[in-house]
Amino acid sequence: MQLEAKNIGFRYGEGPWLFRGVNIMIESGEIVGLIGPSGSGKTTLCRILSGYEAPLEGSVTLDGSAISKTAYHPVQLVFQHPEKAVNPRWKMWKVLHEGWKPDQSLLDSLGIEEEWFTRFPRELSGGELQRFCVARALGPKTKFLIADEMTTMLDAITQAQIWQAVLEKFKHSDVGTLVVSHDAALVARLCHRVIDLRYLSK
CATH number of the CATH domain containing 159? 3.40.50.300
Residue 202 makes CB contacts below 8 A (sequence gap 6+) with 20, 21
Provide the domain count of the chain.
Answer: 1
Domain that holds residue 107: 2-199
**DSSP at 111:** T
Q: Report the DSSP pairing between strands 2-10 and 57-62.
A: antiparallel
Q: How many CA atoms lie within 13 A of 178 on its CB side?
A: 31
CB 162 within 8 A of CB 131: yes
Residue pLDDT, tens place only, 113-131: 999 999 999 999 999 999 9
Residue pLDDT, tens place only, 63-100: 988 887 766 889 999 998 999 889 999 999 999 887 77
